[in-house]
């Protein structure tokens, strides 16, 4: 799998969003796109999956220009999980996921489509939800169903726009680990947009830091998550520490708070807890 983005530009009316973006990704890996709001992260993945057409430059998959690939063929290569689901029909989970098999559907394929759907539900740990109504699920369950629908396309590339944005911390980590594992086990190029820099740094194989409509830094979490990069792109001061050989960000305000806080909770048996100055 080879994805190449060559001098891609895009703008809405007279407002430029992407400016000469260049990027090459090859092979199965888990890639996280980070950056402040409005820098073009969603626009970039929409140019990859043909939701948007670049106003300049070219996107190629295995050497084929995306604009020349028929939509049904492109859907076999590229899966997409949007920021939020607009599905409101009272479909069961299995029917919702089965919709992702449309690019592969043909006469006599239904049994295989069901088999792939069943295996994917099992893989995602939601087979027990098969006959539940989709729009009655919790946010975490909905996100797993949407991931399953993207996976049953059997894509070479899976794009996800902030897949953990509406989830609590437990489900954020769970979904991120599932995606990281799937990229390696299924040999898929998984690209997600993320705003949680520490979770992204903990699990990503590669990170892409965007700034002012372009790519500011690409590389391993250690290469991208630096105090200087965060200062320039996000305008924040921070300290980078190590957590199991991965960078972990502590913001300057958090550092100051830790330094200023000189109280700890202690308690005696039979009394209420009280604060004792250290």
Residues 189 and 267 in one domain: no
48 part of a folded domain: yes
Question: Residue 12's pLDDT band (boundaries 50, 70, 90)?
Answer: confident
CA angle 220, 76, 206 (to 5 degrees): 0
Residue 215 CA: distances (Å) to CA of 67, 113, 115, 212, 252: 22, 39, 40, 8, 25
Degrees to nearest 5, angle at CA 140 with 46 and 96? 65
Note whether 151 and 277 are same-domain residues. no
Whether residue 260 is contained in a domain is answered as yes
Asked if residue 246 and residue 168 are part of one domain, the reply reads no
Q: Does 95 map to a domain? A: no
Question: In this predicted model, what pLDDT tens digit does every residue of 198-228 receive, in sequence order?
Answer: 999 999 999 999 999 999 999 999 999 999 9
Specify if 129 maps to a domain: no
Q: How many residues does the chain have?
A: 278
Q: In 3D, which of 58, 76, 48 has the Cα closest to residue 6?
A: 58
Residue labelled with tokens 């729009």: 135
CB 173 within 8 A of CB 59: no
Q: Give yes or no: residues 183 and 222 share one domain.
A: yes
pTM value > 0.95: no
Can you give the residue range of the structural domain that contains 245?
A: 237-278
Report if residue 133 sits inside a domain. Answer: no
194 and 275 housed in the same domain: no
Whether 229 and 159 share a structural domain: yes
Q: Are residues 148 and 206 in the same domain?
A: yes
Domain match, 224 and 245 both: no
| % of the chain beyond a pLDDT of 70 | 88
What pLDDT, on the 0 to 100 scale, is given for residue 229? 97
Give the integer Cα–Cα distance in Å for 55 and 47.
10
Q: What is the pLDDT of residues 101-141, one digit of tens each?
A: 888 777 667 888 899 999 999 988 899 999 999 988 888 88
Query: Distance of alpha carbon 189 from its chain centroid, rounded?
Result: 11
Segment 9-22 shows an average pLDDT of 90
Centre a 10 Å sphere on the Cβ of residue 157 and count the other Cβ atoms it contains: 21
Q: How many domains does the chain have?
A: 2
Residue 13 sits in the same domain as residue 81: yes
Q: State the pLDDT confidence band at 273, using cuts at 50, 70 and 90.
A: very low
Q: Do residues 65 and 186 both lie within one domain?
A: yes
**Quick one: average pLDDT of 50-68?**
94
pLDDT digits (tens, 9 = 90+) for 29-46: 999 999 999 999 999 999
Residue with tokens 């626009």: 43
The whole-number average pLDDT for the span 157-172 is 88
- pLDDT at 87 (0 to 100): 59
Same domain for 158 and 274, yes or no, is no
Q: Same domain, yes or no, for 167 and 43? A: yes
Q: Which CATH number goes with the domain that contains 15?
A: 3.40.50.300
């Amino acid at each position: 799998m080879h994805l190449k983005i060559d001098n891609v530009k895009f703008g809405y009316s007279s407002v430029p969003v992407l400016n000469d973006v260049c990027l090459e990704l090859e092979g199965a890996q888990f890639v996280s796109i980070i950056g402040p709001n409005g820098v073009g992260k969603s626009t970039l993945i929409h140019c990859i999956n043909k939701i948007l057409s670049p106003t300049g430059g070219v996107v190629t998959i295995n050497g084929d220009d995306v604009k020349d690939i028929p939509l049904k063929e492109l859907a076999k290569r590229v899966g997409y999980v949007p920021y939020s689901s607009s599905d409101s029909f009272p479909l069961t989970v299995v029917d919702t996921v089965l919709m992702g098999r449309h690019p592969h559907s043909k006469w006599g394929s239904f049994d295989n489509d069901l088999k792939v759907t069943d295996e994917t539900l099992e893989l995602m740990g939601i087979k027990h939800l098969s006959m539940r109504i989709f729009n009655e699920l919790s946010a975490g369950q909905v996100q797993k169903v949407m991931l399953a629908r993207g996976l049953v396309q059997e894509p070479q590339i899976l794009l996800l726009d902030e897949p953990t944005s509406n989830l609590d911390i437990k489900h954020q980590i769970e979904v991120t680990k599932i995606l990281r594992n799937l990229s390696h086990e299924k040999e898929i190029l998984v690209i997600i947009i993320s705003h949680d820099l520490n979770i992204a740094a903990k699990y990503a194989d590669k990170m892409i830091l965007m700034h002012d409509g372009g790519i500011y830094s690409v590389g391993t979490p250690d290469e991208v998550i630096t105090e200087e990069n965060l200062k320039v792109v996000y305008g924040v001061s921070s300290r980078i520490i190590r957590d199991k050989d991965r960078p972990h960000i502590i913001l300057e305000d958090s550092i100051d708070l830790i330094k200023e806080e000189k109280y700890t909770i202690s308690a005696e048996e039979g009394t209420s807890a009280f604060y004792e100055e250290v």
